[in-house]
């Protein structure tokens, strides 16, 4: 015999929900799983396991190459510190003064133009001197660089460092072969 809809509803309501009883059941039955690690993506040729890192090579490198690598690494750290400093100062400047008004901008432009006209010869000689000085390929002081110059110097230093490391590795491999 089939039950009517009212009888089904009454039967469902007869069983009342007891939150304390439900919590007690949860405490008895729970099984905590913990955090599951990320999925390992199988790599062909490795049997489904992630490849292990190669042990560091302890090969002899010439002292000159090692010195060059050390110098480039130190320069890179110096440049990165300067870039962080510039970016920090840039954020502070934006917070402190905000944007300049049009009147302030035009006043600054007028003052710059007047300065350039007044010190024309001095500026020209400074630029000639700087051009002669920078032609030698030497390092300019990090403190005088702006953000774009620091970024460019970091890029050049990284490429020089990679070349020096590759050269050192090649010489070490030739020495052991």
| Containing structural domain, residue 79 | 62-83+145-177
Q: Is residue 162 in some structural domain?
A: yes
pLDDT of residue 100: 77
Q: Running DSSP on this structure, what letter comes out for residue 48?
A: T
Cα 138 to Cα 134: distance, rounded to the nearest angstrom: 7
pLDDT band per the 50, 70, 90 thresholds, residue 24 = very high
Mean pLDDT value of segment 155-166: 89
Q: Is residue 13 in some structural domain?
A: no
Q: Is residue 16 in some structural domain?
A: no
Q: Is residue 7 in some structural domain?
A: no
Which residues lie below 8 Å from residue 146, measured CB to CB, with a gap of 6+?
A: 86
pLDDT tens, position by position, 37-55: 777 666 666 555 555 666 6
Q: Is residue 26 in some structural domain?
A: no
Average pLDDT, the chain: 78
Report the number of distinct structural domains present in the chain: 1
Ranges 110-124, 135-149, 161-175, most confident: 110-124
Backbone angles phi, psi at 13, to 5 degrees: -75, -20
Q: Is residue 78 in some structural domain?
A: yes
pLDDT tens, position by position, 77-126: 898 888 888 888 777 666 656 677 888 889 999 999 999 898 888 888 87
Q: Is residue 43 in some structural domain?
A: no
Q: Is residue 177 in some structural domain?
A: yes
């Amino acid at each position: 015999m089939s039950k009517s809809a009212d009888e089904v509803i009454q039967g469902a309501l007869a069983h009342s929900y007891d939150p304390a009883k439900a919590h007690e059941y949860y405490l008895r039955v729970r099984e905590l799983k913990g955090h599951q690690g990320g999925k390992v993506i199988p790599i062909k040729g490795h049997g489904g396991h992630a490849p292990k890192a190669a042990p560091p090579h302890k090969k002899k490198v010439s002292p000159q190459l090692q010195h060059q690598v050390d110098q480039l690494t130190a320069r890179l750290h110096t440049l990165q510190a300067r870039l962080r400093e510039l970016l920090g100062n840039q954020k502070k400047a934006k917070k402190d003064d905000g944007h300049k008004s049009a009147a302030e901008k035009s006043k600054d432009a007028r003052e710059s133009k007047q300065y350039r006209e007044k010190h024309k010869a001095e500026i020209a000689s400074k630029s000639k001197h700087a051009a002669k000085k920078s032609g030698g390929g030497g390092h300019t002081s990090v403190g005088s660089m702006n953000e774009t110059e620091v970024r460019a110097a970091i890029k050049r230093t990284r490429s020089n460092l990679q070349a020096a490391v590759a050269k050192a590795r090649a010489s070490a491999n030739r020495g052991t072969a």
